[in-house]
């Protein structure tokens, strides 16, 4: 019989609902796993086992009284350390904020709690969600990066320390670490999940996302997190579907557009060969796959994204940077100093390109149920001084489109590879249905060494 920590989000919800598993037993199983693996992985910045167990006992008492708060009742979830958590330290990976304890929860955290979830702890992030690495290691090979900026969230889910964890993406900070660590990473349309109570990096690019071990788990979590928030003026009033019901909604195999020209040119040979193998397997299962033609603005996307993120990042940090310059790491310091020097006309030009690219992508997306690319140019790089290359996710984050990384295989060295699926704006339900189809065809399920060797 599987240990509680081995079960995914959907399985845990069923077992707890049927009273075959108690929230206390689940919390104890996860905390025991963290106790053994955390010295090697360093995926967490803050965990309070006593508070977690206290909350688990509370959930247990509520179950005995017949009270269910929601679909995540009694399930511990990891939270990236840029989300405010009332009464729990929130550092954004910076020594400047080492003692900061918010008085309120980020909206996303509040919605987790309302659905019955327990905040297991805060997961490690690169400094202020930029490129100065966190100490976290990759569960598949401790000498390789887990990616960033949501480093701890990806590693914790991959190592079965928690069934799901919150992250965020400004360029590639959810999907890249998801691919490196062999888990599902999801970034919805910008504005689908509230950003209130999250340390900002780039006002017009920051998108809240998360990590799970299956597409179905992602559908469950998105339903909990999505929706308009009056505290976040950029959040959307678009209706929020029952995403889990949409997973089998495709009446035929999907029409998928492969984005080839840029991705083939910039991917390592082993990655592109793997992507071609994935395409053949999907075609064999009935998917119609043709090459998708990108608009001319695609070639300006990466340059425009760098300008916007630098200017907005500098704006977000300007006041604190004046007082704590020496406390900043080298990469975030460089971003702030460059951003403060970029002319306003260049920033406005970048925003114009962003609006045009998103409009042009609407026409492209009408032809397909989703687009497909490799998630990353390579598997997780060796060494911990870099978090890898976000270039393959940049266009879709830039356009604000929903995207998902699905684990799809392993390199010759045994490191995970992923495919990236992209959907139309507000088309998360269709994207999840396409991802569910691909997940069933690819059937990636091989456990990594840490998952195999640990015994509670």
DSSP states of 214-277:
SHHHHHHHHHHHBS--TT-TTS-------GGGGTT--SSPPEEEE--HHHHHHS-HHHHHHHHH
Q: Are 268 and 377 in contact (CB under 8 A)?
A: yes
> Are 418 and 374 spatial neighbours (Cβ–Cβ below 8 Å)?
yes
- The Cα–Cα gap between 416 and 140 comes to 8
Three-state SS string across 349-361, please? HHHHHHHHHHHHH
* Greatest distance between any 2 Cα atoms in the chain: 62
Catalytic residues: 80, 149, 173
Residues 6+ apart with CB under 8 A from 397: 169, 170, 171, 172, 187, 190, 205, 207, 305, 403
- Alpha carbon distance 64, 88 (integer Å): 28
* 111 sits in which H/E element: helix 107-114
Residue 434 region, left (φ>0) first, then alpha (ψ -120 to 50), else beta? alpha
Residues whose CB falls within 8 Å of the CB of residue 233, separated by 6 or more in sequence, listed in order: none
Asked whether the beta carbons of 212 and 184 are under 8 A apart, the reply is yes
């Amino acid at each position: 019989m599987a240990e509680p920590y081995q079960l995914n989000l959907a399985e845990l919800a069923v077992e707890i609902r049927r009273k075959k598993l108690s929230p206390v037993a689940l919390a104890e199983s996860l905390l025991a796993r963290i106790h053994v693996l955390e010295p090697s992985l360093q995926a967490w910045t803050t965990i309070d086992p006593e508070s977690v167990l206290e909350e688990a006992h509370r959930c247990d008492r509520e179950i005995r009284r017949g009270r269910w708060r929601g679909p995540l009742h009694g399930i511990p979830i990891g939270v990236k350390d840029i989300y405010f958590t009332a009464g729990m330290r929130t550092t954004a990976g910076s020594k400047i904020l080492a003692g900061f304890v918010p008085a309120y929860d980020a909206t996303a955290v509040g919605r987790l709690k309302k659905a019955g979830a327990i905040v297991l702890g805060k997961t490690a992030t690169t400094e202020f969600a930029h490129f100065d690495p966190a100490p976290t290691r990759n569960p598949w090979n401790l000498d390789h990066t887990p990616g960033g900026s949501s480093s701890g969230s990806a590693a914790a889910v991959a190592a079965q320390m928690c069934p799901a964890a919150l992250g965020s993406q400004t360029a590639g900070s959810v999907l890249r670490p998801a691919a490196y660590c062999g888990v599902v990473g999801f970034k919805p349309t910008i504005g689908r999940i509230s950003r209130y109570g999250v340390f900002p990096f780039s006002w017009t690019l920051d998108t809240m996302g998360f990590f799970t071990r299956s597409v179905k788990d992602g559908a469950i979590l998105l339903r909990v997190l999505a929706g308009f928030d009056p505290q976040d003026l950029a959040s959307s009033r678009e209706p929020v579907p029952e995403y889990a019901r949409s997973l089998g909604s495709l009446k035929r195999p999907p029409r998928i557009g492969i984005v080839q020209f840029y991705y083939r040119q910039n991917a390592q040979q082993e990655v592109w060969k793997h992507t071609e193998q994935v395409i053949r397997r999907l075609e064999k299962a009935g998917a119609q796959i043709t090459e998708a033609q990108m608009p001319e603005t695609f070639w300006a996307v990466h340059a425009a994204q760098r300008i916007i993120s630098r200017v907005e990042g500098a704006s977000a940090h300007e006041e604190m940077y004046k007082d704590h310059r020496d406390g900043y790491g080298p990469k975030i310091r460089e971003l702030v100093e460059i951003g403060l020097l970029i002319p306003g006309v260049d920033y406005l030009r970048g925003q114009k390109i962003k609006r045009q690219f998103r409009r042009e992508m609407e026409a492209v997306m009408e032809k397909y149920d989703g687009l497909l690319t490799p998630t990353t140019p390579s598997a997780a790089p060796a060494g911990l001084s870099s978090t890898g290359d976000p270039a393959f996710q940049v266009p879709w984050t830039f356009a604000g489109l929903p995207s998902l990384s699905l684990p799809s295989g392993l390199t010759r060295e045994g490191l995970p590879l992923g495919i990236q699926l992209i959907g139309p704006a507000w088309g998360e339900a269709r994207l999840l249905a396409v991802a569910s189809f691909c997940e069933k065809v690819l059937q990636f399920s091989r456990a990594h060494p840490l998952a195999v060797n640990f015994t509670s």
